[in-house]
Structure 1
């Protein structure tokens, strides 16, 4: 991982302000020489990395020295850059002196920076000598941009659901039948199998089954894992079935009782279905129900579905239980799954020796012992190497048929086959996240970019490159796709299998890439004998000061309670979620900080000096309610690109934030009396926005007119207007707009004649139209796939032939004046889902409704 460290330094050093000035005495030249030497040393790293992995202790020391020197070089270069940025924003007489001369304090700083650069260069010279003595070969290939393959065939197969259902169709049907039939007593079904056998995915396929969804009135899914808190599970269940959660900062047993009681009372007269996924211990049931019987047995035919690796856990549940032991796939089903990943039909024609490859493939599939995860990962790996020689080598190198060693060998091969150290670093980063967590891809991409793990590629933005990384990891079955964005088509949320994550945790610690620490790990434990970690992930830690090495660059935390964060001056990334922070540290001295995420945290106050963080690009405080207002100095940081805030106070005036790409503001009950036109002016000058999310009690009416100068906007979410008159003409909206959510108490005029002309619109959510008719013309909404109408009071919906040719998902909420569905819906050949919420005037005898059902459109009522 030393290669990724050097590449990160070189990548981030390419656009520094220090290069644009001639007033840094000899420092500018020194920085240039330092960069040249880093580029030279980068050439040694591939050979050094290989020798280190073979156990060469002397090379291991060298790799450690290279990485330490690279990070030290990055720190000193950025100190010079920070000084230059700081001087540029100074005003008045002092500012003029700072820009065109040097203050004594600057000269002292420059002297120190120059001395530090000389020290780092001496270290690099010693490293070159050591590399030559160790006979490490010079690799002159340099860094080559990886061209992503257009593997669209695999993209349609990369969900874990598709993988596990090969060979498990009968078991899926059997489990669904047991859930929806039988007596009315509360009963459980337990799926038991070893890791990688497909328990969770089979359970999820059952959970999302239309038969199950229609049968039960309330459903919930919670992942238990090895380390869980009862109150967290209960809050999760309550949020899913009731829609609320206890956000109290100090959860005690009394509140746990209250949450459990709320769940019990809500479920008492309902037929409910709850999935407890990945249960490890026999006392889990007692821990969940220790204060109150959470899951009542009211003879309503309710069911519990449990997945576990241990049969004694399945038998321990105190109710009638059917234990379903998941069988391994037989040889034929194993080959079917393996070949679907390794030899998709669209690739077979390009293989010269396809029969020989198939014969080898059957032998390799058999080696996987019927485990779906092993078959999927191995098949995806071999799909990148479609020749008999590679497959034969794989068969000859097979080290063991024991399941644990087998999976590790397959994962290690897939990891090494990733096309660059950037890719490998991004994959290892999953070690930072909690077991069984669903990961938002947009969040993941932002942190990858902040960590300099995404290379600069021609014709691609960093975000585009990162999304291609996610796609490639999914194609290789190294991550599992949970959901896709209908508006954008890209992967939206992912998860990583426990076995793959455990491998990442161990490999990341051994490489010194990242140290994952939880309440079972000795805090402060080193990554290895020689490799010092520069990244730390803390999970489920309570009541202490978190320990990390002084040069740490990344601090990630989940579910921390009453902890104090260390003051680490070289931090570039702080990412903490669902935590109670004690004495949140002053961060104004963290001049390297690029990424600050404190999501759903308590006891947080930003220092007034936050404006000194001149490198800050990403600030995310979603669901974190600050003890004090957001300092005005925040908006003077010119590097800001993504800002997510909850519960903020009035926006500043006379602030230019023209480079901001994402603005996400959830202001809750705060209304226009605090903002008025100030908010309109503030947002209106952000011409580079791609995403605007604004939620407040009353959005200023003028906000609807600001989009004419925002050509890059693709997502707009505005709620809630009081009254919306006529919308702006369609050409005043961004033509790149893909998702639009507008909510108002009253929309006076039919919005469809304007919005249907937006050429890129894919998702449309509207609330509040009160006209008598609504009209959608032919050729309107050419790309619309999802339409949700809420609180519409029109009596007639006119749809011309040819409108909405791609609409697949339609929802009508509280549209109480619509007495019949428009016949035009029958001409929408792509319509597959229709959901009606409180649409009581539309009877089951409605002709359009009956015809849609006959055409196999899924119709649901709530």
Structure 2
């Protein structure tokens, strides 16, 4: 039902009405009354939510009406709120007049707002009458299960233990060994292994385990993984492969044609022992498209391999080389129970249950019902791990639906979705439908857009980002999303994906909800909301080839527009209600003309796009929080008016950037800049002055061929910095002692660092991750009690002969990487005194350190894993 889309709007309108009534002059009373009615409506929604969870769908139309009127209320109030923000920013005589008096135009606007709010309140009266007819209870004792200030952080640490780990498999151990053996056997001719099974059977999990195994990593010189899915383009697959094997940036591939890409892949792989994984292949002609112009994967008779996963046996047999087809078996009863038990009743839950044997008996029966499918087992177990009530488990067993036509999986998903803690979390989950099939989704970007959509609630003493991270964690714990990458140090989730079966369910639920409409080449542009009574305020266009997306395809009421891989997108000047605009791999038309009118926009992201020109009217977007233009071709210089936006928090920019003299609002939290063009001396000077004003930053990243050395001095005035990424300096003669004590991750690359950086950086109390490149000095010294929290150290191109490390330095180190440190002859004995007895050491092109090194030998004996390359 539409409840998941409604409460976030109601909460946001209520908060806005509370905070901004002083700006509304004569309509203050109307706003206050509207606020009270919306608060009252929230309690009715709780009753509607309870009816919905119990299976009563009669409330769907009622909630649809609420969503529409809530959006209307928010629009009306934000008109006046925007007027107040605009007037407060005006300068000079006119600004003074507008701040202390009402101009005629403002009075007209306020009158219209008052009329609109009265109309909204009349609609609300009708809705309340409907609620009485539907016999909703006005029960103010019911509360959402949101995370509160008193919540134990330990509980989330325990929850993390139960998150699905792609490196852990149940029931596939023998099959794993068989496939690895096939890939690394002595056969020299190019050959393939195809894993075939139905959706949800664990093909990708098994392939990922094989792909990341140490045996495979050491056997092949080059490896690449591409996900094909149903909506692939051959040229895009080839570019993805090329990017992985050759390290090519996106912008260098843009102009390449299919033959050129295929030829470069062929020539590069010709002298390599390679493994290419094609995951989730649906059609037999995928192989033909990749090799249509040129044979991309050469047979150099050196033992190279292709690994393929598919649901169709004809696809597995179609690949034009000797192929071993492996039919993935379903889990048997014991394996099913083992997987189910590990996720529904992990050790930290078992310790809290007195009647665990009763749960085990019910659990074995439930696991048996899942028909040996790992996905069904994982999702059901994730749901039941949060419902430790034997009656609930028993009810599910008694009410088990038919397993025909996919009903089993749908019922499990529906139960798990309805059981999510609150409407905020349900909205966050449905939002995954907006991303293309098999997408790797950045958690950082996901959190920024969730916040812009107002899905993340304000909780006392919690930052919005912290709450959003907990939401990601909970969805992963329930196995509703899959974790792809985690930070190697703290285990935070970095990227995720959603299984295509779960995504299909989300798409259908989001459409029926009126929450989000997904249009792709399978549904066509006619694939609008399946319910005639539901108007979708969010649209996601995905992989539509051929004609452009025109303004007729997009509702004028749209609040969110998400676009992936569309040849041309025409943006209408009627899209004035947009809050989120997210476009990737597409060309835009008419953007510069209409953007100034999208005054309520909070989130603007263009990645790898063309036809983007930012006009000075961008400064009118007084609600804008995030602007992301990395890897996008900008047809204009970023206007200085951007920096006048008071709400701006996260900025990601590419080449076309000229710094203004001053930064009016200094609340930026994230600033990332990627430049490939040469910097003039004057421009570098202006940039340093401009950046030095950002004293609230938490993340700073600058990637350029030559960072001015003076930049290193600005960080002493940034006390909140957590992440610093600098790539790269030419020559750094000295490193200042005034570095922010809050820094958690520091990456600093230079051609030459003349001063030993360790005595400076080892005093940073919060530093956990350090990556350095370019120190040229005979000795590097780390003193006792230095780097108290350091867990990961990566050194690249360090021209040192001796590394001195006193006992007590880096007590928490668990990851050490040395790259191209050709002069160093041995590891320091101080490493033998580390508190963590097991860790990882990577040695790449460090020829002087070999197996005769006593420190290396002893660390290996203690269980440290050592990875080497020439």
Q: TM-score, normalised to structure 1's length? A: 0.96
Greater CA drift, 745-754 or 539-548: 539-548
Q: Does 1:834 align with 2:841?
A: yes
Aligned residue pair count: 857
2:38 alignment counterpart: 38
Greater CA drift, 834-843 or 104-113: 834-843
- Of residues 670, 675, 678, the one that matches 2:686 is 678
2:828 alignment counterpart: 822
Deviations along 1:774-810, one digit per CA (max 9) or x if unpaired, are 0011221121111111221111111112211221222
- Of residues 770, 773, 788, the one that matches 2:794 is 788
Structure 1 counterpart SS, 2:37: helix
Q: How do 1:655-804 residues align onto structure 2 when only pairs under 5 Å count?
A: 655-671=663-679, 673-729=681-737, 732-804=738-810
Deviations along 1:293-317, one digit per CA (max 9) or x if unpaired, are 1111111111110001111111111
2:69 alignment counterpart: 69
Structure 2: 5+ residue runs without aligned partners?
none
**What is the alpha-carbon distance in structure 2 between the residues aligned to residue 859 and residue 486 of structure 1?**
15
2:315 alignment counterpart: 313
Alpha-carbon distance change, 173 to 249 in structure 1, aligned in 2, over 3 angstroms = closer
Structure 1 counterpart SS, 2:198: coil
**What is the alpha-carbon distance in structure 2 between the residues aligned to residue 648 and residue 423 of structure 1?**
38
Q: Does 1:581 align with 2:592?
A: no
Structure 1 counterpart SS, 2:181: helix
Instruction: Give, in angstroms, the shift of residue 695 of structure 1.
Output: 1.6
Structure 1 counterpart SS, 2:457: coil
Q: How do 1:124-203 residues align onto structure 2 when only pairs under 5 Å count?
A: 124-141=124-141, 143-144=143-144, 146-147=146-147, 150-162=155-167, 165-203=169-207
- Of residues 410, 416, 419, the one that matches 1:417 is 419
1:539 alignment counterpart: 542
Alpha-carbon distance change, 22 to 495 in structure 1, aligned in 2, over 3 angstroms = closer
Q: How do 1:228-377 residues align onto structure 2 when only pairs under 5 Å count?
A: 228-244=232-248, 247=251, 255-377=257-379
**What is the alpha-carbon distance in structure 1 between the residues aligned to residue 2 and residue 393 of structure 2?**
31
1:464 alignment counterpart: 466
**What is the alpha-carbon distance in structure 1 between the residues aligned to residue 167 and residue 274 of structure 2?**
27
Structure 2 counterpart SS, 1:44: helix
Is the 2:548–2:566 contact (alpha carbons within 8 Å) kept by the matching residues of 1?
A: no
**What is the alpha-carbon distance in structure 1 between the residues aligned to residue 23 and residue 723 of structure 2?**
43
**What is the alpha-carbon distance in structure 1 between the residues aligned to residue 453 and residue 558 of structure 2?**
12
Is the 1:267–1:295 contact (alpha carbons within 8 Å) kept by the matching residues of 2?
A: yes
Q: How do 1:506-521 residues align onto structure 2 when only pairs under 5 Å count?
A: 506-521=508-523
Structure 2 counterpart SS, 1:111: helix
Instruction: Give, in angstroms, the shift of residue 127 of structure 1.
Output: 1.3
1:94 alignment counterpart: 94
Greater CA drift, 675-684 or 312-321: 675-684
Greater CA drift, 150-159 or 215-224: 150-159
Greater CA drift, 652-661 or 21-30: 21-30
Instruction: Give, in angstroms, the shift of residue 4 of structure 1.
Output: 4.2
Instruction: Give, in angstroms, the shift of residue 334 of structure 1.
Output: 0.8
- Of residues 549, 553, 557, the one that matches 2:555 is 549
Structure 2 counterpart SS, 1:668: coil
Greater CA drift, 638-647 or 372-381: 372-381
Structure 1 counterpart SS, 2:597: coil
Is the 2:649–2:669 contact (alpha carbons within 8 Å) kept by the matching residues of 1?
A: yes
**What is the alpha-carbon distance in structure 2 between the residues aligned to residue 287 and residue 8 of structure 1?**
45
Is the 1:657–1:685 contact (alpha carbons within 8 Å) kept by the matching residues of 2?
A: no
CA RMSD of aligned residues (A): 2.1
Deviations along 1:23-48, one digit per CA (max 9) or x if unpaired, are 63322222221111111112222333
- Of residues 620, 636, 639, the one that matches 2:644 is 636
Instruction: Give, in angstroms, the shift of residue 680 of structure 1.
Output: 1.9
Structure 2 counterpart SS, 1:335: helix
Instruction: Give, in angstroms, the shift of residue 570 of structure 1.
Output: 0.2
**What is the alpha-carbon distance in structure 2 between the residues aligned to residue 681 and residue 17 of structure 1?**
39
Instruction: Give, in angstroms, the shift of residue 246 of structure 1.
Output: 6.1
Is the 1:807–1:830 contact (alpha carbons within 8 Å) kept by the matching residues of 2?
A: no
Q: Does 1:569 align with 2:576?
A: yes
Instruction: Give, in angstroms, the shift of residue 101 of structure 1.
Output: 1.0
Is the 2:741–2:765 contact (alpha carbons within 8 Å) kept by the matching residues of 1?
A: yes
Instruction: Give, in angstroms, the shift of residue 365 of structure 1.
Output: 0.6
Structure 1: 5+ residue runs without aligned partners?
none
Deviations along 1:347-397, one digit per CA (max 9) or x if unpaired, are 223223222221111100100111111111111111112232111111011
Is the 1:650–1:674 contact (alpha carbons within 8 Å) kept by the matching residues of 2?
A: no
Instruction: Give, in angstroms, the shift of residue 105 of structure 1.
Output: 1.1
Instruction: Give, in angstroms, the shift of residue 194 of structure 1.
Output: 0.8
- Of residues 392, 401, 404, the one that matches 1:402 is 404
Is the 1:807–1:831 contact (alpha carbons within 8 Å) kept by the matching residues of 2?
A: no
Deviations along 1:607-654, one digit per CA (max 9) or x if unpaired, are 221001111111001111201100110011111000000113320012
Greater CA drift, 528-537 or 845-854: 845-854
**What is the alpha-carbon distance in structure 2 between the residues aligned to residue 255 and residue 31 of structure 1?**
58
Structure 2 counterpart SS, 1:745: strand
Alpha-carbon distance change, 226 to 403 in structure 1, aligned in 2, over 3 angstroms = same
Alpha-carbon distance change, 74 to 844 in structure 1, aligned in 2, over 3 angstroms = same
Structure 1 counterpart SS, 2:651: strand
**What is the alpha-carbon distance in structure 1 between the residues aligned to residue 662 and residue 616 of structure 2?**
18
Instruction: Give, in angstroms, the shift of residue 247 of structure 1.
Output: 3.9
Q: TM-score, normalised to structure 2's length? A: 0.95
Instruction: Give, in angstroms, the shift of residue 835 of structure 1.
Output: 2.0
Is the 1:353–1:388 contact (alpha carbons within 8 Å) kept by the matching residues of 2?
A: no
Is the 1:249–1:580 contact (alpha carbons within 8 Å) kept by the matching residues of 2?
A: no
Alpha-carbon distance change, 12 to 479 in structure 1, aligned in 2, over 3 angstroms = same
Greater CA drift, 319-328 or 122-131: 122-131
Greater CA drift, 814-823 or 26-35: 814-823
Instruction: Give, in angstroms, the shift of residue 764 of structure 1.
Output: 0.4
Instruction: Give, in angstroms, the shift of residue 230 of structure 1.
Output: 0.3
Deviations along 1:459-511, one digit per CA (max 9) or x if unpaired, are 21111110000111111111111122246542111111111111111111111
